[in-house]
Amino acid sequence: MKKKRTPGFVFIVLLVLGTLSGIRGEKLLASSARHITLTFSAGHDPSGIHEALIRRFEETHPDIKIRVLELPNSTDGQHERYVTALAAEDSSLDVIAADIIWPPEFASAGWLLPLDPFLPPSEQKKFIDGATQGVRYKGKLYAVPWFCNAGLLFYRKDLLEKEGLSPPRTWDDLLKAAGLLQRKYKIDGLVFQAARYEGLVCDFLEYLWGNGGDVFDKDGNITIDRPEAIEALQFLTDLIHKHRLTARAVTSYQEQESFIAFTQGHAAFLRSWPYVYMLSFGKDSRVAGKVGMVPMVYNKGKSAGTLGAWNLAISRFSKHPKESWEFIRFLSSHESQVLATLKGRTPSLKSVYGDPRIKKEAPYLSVFYRTLAAGKPRPVTPLYPKISIILQIQVHRAITREISPEAALKEAARKIRNLYNKYKLPVGT
């Protein structure tokens, strides 16, 4: 027994000693070099864009070092980490790469610095409008948009041309074109994200907005159970069950599944995000060069894609807000964004879309710009994560025909009202 325990004990002693000496070493280094270390937390970046930009920043700012804190890939995983760290007022976070739906929530909790003192309104106007709208809370700006996405409709250019069809603009156009291609080529008319998760809400909102509806109106009423909303959900349900234009398993599809179905040539149309375009040229794709894209289809309202954006925010508990802003200003600058755009990102600064280098290298961005300019953020409220869960469940129940679209949205409205009552907040804020 005694003999067995000794190595373990020695190991623990060494471990403790090692940690102590490590701490001492780090402190010594920091004090001798006289620079500030900022922590930049973001999801894994396989493109190498973060690394390249950070290297440039450190070259021009020798007094600031950037430590990258790599977070889980899933957005939910990142959200969880931020909530627990920020609720504990952890001062080790400085610059945060935030999904567009977080800033209102984090700002209402008092975890983010308002950025208006750093970025005057005249400068804010240089960014895509919907993107800055999504990261504002009670009139103040809490993050700077970095990269933007908006939902788009991708189509098989080759098939549409063969049939002499023009890309659809309205719901009816989509029904006709998808139906024709489905019958003729024995493929699915349309695939999208309809599993029970955040992506379903993004997809549903586009039909809702496209039919003139919304979750709330300007006066703080819940409008998710109004006729135009029920009609939108009915249309989505009918796409699957009445017109049978989608894969039967679409109600279990996330981005991955819908992407595979489309790029393997199993579907005529795909609703997804801009990344699909670049990846459709990949070596496993069967539709390289055959993909076109248009803004989302609409009915009684206007075409609107759901905005997804990554934004840069500063933690209220950061000890270096000024240096953090310096870093954000660099990352979101025209030059940095041009560099990142050439590597496949979609920029947030309007001026980047007009840059001659971009126009030459990435002409497809003009379509993205049109959709981003018309794009809308998801309901801007600190309660959004909770509202999203309600919508995910109720919309999914309707599109799997467990209950009618009307019953689903009435239930969603009731639950959203209860939510605002529970937290004693004015509806829609």
Partner 1 sequence: MDKEATREAKTAYLLVAPSLIVIGVIALFPILRSLWMSFYAIDLTLPQLGRPFVGLANYLEIFTDSRFWAALWNTTYFTVISVTLELVLGLAIAMLVNRPFAGRGLLRASVLIPWAIPTVVSAQMWRWIFNDKAGILGSLLQNFKILSEPYPWLASVETARLCIIAADVWKTTPFMVLLLLAGLQTISPEYYEAAMVDGATPFRRFLHVTLPLLKPIILVALLFRTLDAFRIFDLVYVLTGGAFKTETLSVLTSDVTFKCSDYGQGSALAVVMFCCIMVISFIFIKVLGAKVEE
**Which residues contact partner 1 (rule: CB under 8 A)?**
76, 79-80, 83-84, 87, 105-106, 108-110, 195-197, 247-252, 257, 260-261, 264, 266, 382, 385-386, 389, 393, 396, 400, 423-424
Q: Between 162 and 248, whose beta carbon lies closer to partner 1?
A: 248
Residue 367 or 389 having the CB closest to partner 1:
389
Q: Where are the beta strands (DSSP E) in 111-159?
A: 136-137, 140-141, 144-150, 152-156
Which distant-in-sequence residues (6+ apart) come within 8 Å of 346 by Cβ?
147, 148, 149, 274, 365, 368, 372
Q: Which residues pair with 31 in a beta bridge?
A: none
Residue type, 112: L
Whole-angstrom distance, CA of residue 420 vs CA of residue 429: 9
What's the length of the chain? 429
Please, what is the minimum distance in Å from the beta carbon of residue 234 to partner 1?
Answer: 20
339 or 389: CB nearest partner 1: 389
The least CB distance from residue 107 to partner 1, in Å, is: 10
Q: Which CB sits closer to partner 1, 188 or 355?
A: 188
Closer residue to partner 1 (CB): 211 or 318 = 318
Q: Enter the DSSP assignment of 101.
A: T
Whose Cβ is closer to partner 1: residue 103's or residue 305's? 103
CB of 401 to partner 1, least distance (A): 11
What tokens does 5 get?
Answer: 């325990």
Classify 127 as helix, strand or coil: strand
Interatomic CA distance for residues 115 and 315, integer angstroms: 11
What six digits make up the tokens of 401? Answer: 């025909």
Collapsing DSSP to helix, strand or coil, 281 comes out as coil
User: What is the smallest separation between the CB atom of 250 and partner 1, expressed in angstroms?
Assistant: 7
The amino acid that residue 56 corresponds to is R
Q: Minimal distance in Å, beta carbon 317 to partner 1?
A: 13
Tokens matching residue 295: 């803004």
The least distance separating partner 1 from the CB of residue 196, rounded to whole angstroms, comes to 4
Which residue lies nearer to partner 1 by CB, 134 or 213? 134
Neighbours of 395 (CB within 10 A): 26
Minimum distance between the CB of residue 96 and partner 1, rounded to whole angstroms?
15
We find the least distance from the C-beta atom of residue 415 to partner 1, in angstroms, to be: 10
- Residue 140: in which H helix or E strand, if any? strand 140-141
> Hey, how many other C-beta atoms are within 10 angstroms of the C-beta on 400?
15
Contact present, 40 and 97 (Cβ < 8 Å): yes
Give the nearest distance from C-beta 312 to partner 1 in angstroms.
Answer: 20
* For partner 1, the closer CB: 328 or 383: 383
Q: Is 295 in contact with 189 (CB distance < 8 Å)?
A: no
Residue whose CB is less far from partner 1, 78 or 332: 78
Distance CA 112, CA 335 (A): 26
